[in-house]
Amino acid sequence: MIVSEEFLSRLRKIFDLNLYEVKVWTSLLSRGVSTAGELSNISDVPRSRTYDILESLEKKGFIVMKIGKPIKFIALKPEEVVERVKKNLVVEANEKSKRLDKLKGDEVLEELSGLYSNGVKYVEPSDLSGSLKGRQNMYNHLDMMLKNANKEAVIVTSAEGLNRKMESLLPEFERAKKRGVKVRVAAPINKDNYKVAKELSKFAEVRSVDGKNNGRFALIDNKEMMLMLLDDKSVHPSYDTAVWLSSNFLASSMKQMFENNWTGFKPLNKARPR
């Protein structure tokens, strides 16, 4: 059996398998039913590892062990494998979520929080900075920033970014408003995101900026900020990058520049696209 390295690499990423697992699985698919020894020869996976790999694939829902001797393994239809893997992922995610929920109020979390609190005492404010790679990581961090907001949150984003932030951060926008946080959002408003902007306006003051604006940043309580470094139209979400800074001086300076421009942005009721 000859399967290209590129194809194997794609399967590894899609199904979250290691190299041996994907080799044994594709080998079994090419045979339908086979023994561990046969699969070892076909896949070029060491015989000492093949049984462990088959056991792992069985647990993950990729194959079925045939009853009888010699022990054989049966390949499942790829469509069935996809459905099984999806179901297993949901179950696994729910179990992990429950375990994490149980940590609230647990002594483990209290001890971790104590370690963090003690550690932060020795950190200079200027040292609280870092880079974030990948759009999901950026939104996770922005979500945390909004959770910690006490007075004010400012977000400037692109037209496409407005849609994404509404999808990812809506619950936190809602909670921020209930806490009395003043939230302001500025983005180019067009026919593709006007409805989203209208919905967001229930929890934040939304204004429209020039359509050529591609700037993206967030300011929280004049204390911390996030600067997105790349044009979201030309970068893959996995490579989107941001810098997070905890600096009263820099955040206040950015806030002043924002205030100087805020009055020139169009209120949402005047920005409705025709």
- How many C-beta atoms surround the C-beta of residue 183 within 10 A? 20
CATH architecture of 5-93: Orthogonal Bundle (1.10)
* CATH superfamily ID and name for 125-270: Endonuclease Chain A (3.30.870.10)
Given a cut of 90, is residue 101 above it in pLDDT?
no
Which of 240, 56, 248 has its CA nearest to residue 138? 240
Residue 69, pLDDT score: 82
Backbone conformation region of residue 272, classed left if phi is above 0, alpha if psi is from -120 to 50, else beta: beta
Given a cut of 70, is residue 247 above it in pLDDT?
yes
> CA 187 to CA 158: how far, in whole Å?
5
Which of 213, 194, 210, 203 has its CA nearest to residue 153? 203
Question: Strand 72-75 and strand 63-66: pairing?
Answer: antiparallel
pTM, entire model: 0.61
- How many C-beta atoms surround the C-beta of residue 39 within 10 A? 25
The share of the chain scoring above pLDDT 70, in percent, equals 92
Residue 3, pLDDT score: 75
Residue 110, pLDDT score: 75
206-217 pLDDT tens trace: 999 986 767 899
Given a cut of 60, is residue 122 above it in pLDDT?
no
> CA 75 to CA 73: how far, in whole Å?
7
Mean pLDDT across 22-47: 91
CA R_g for the chain: 26
Q: Which sequence spans correspond to the domains of the chain?
A: 5-93, 125-270
> CA 238 to CA 110: how far, in whole Å?
33
> CA 247 to CA 228: how far, in whole Å?
16
Specify the range with the lowest mean pLDDT, choosing from 10-14, 51-55, 146-150, 270-274.
270-274
274 confidence band (pLDDT: 50, 70, 90): low
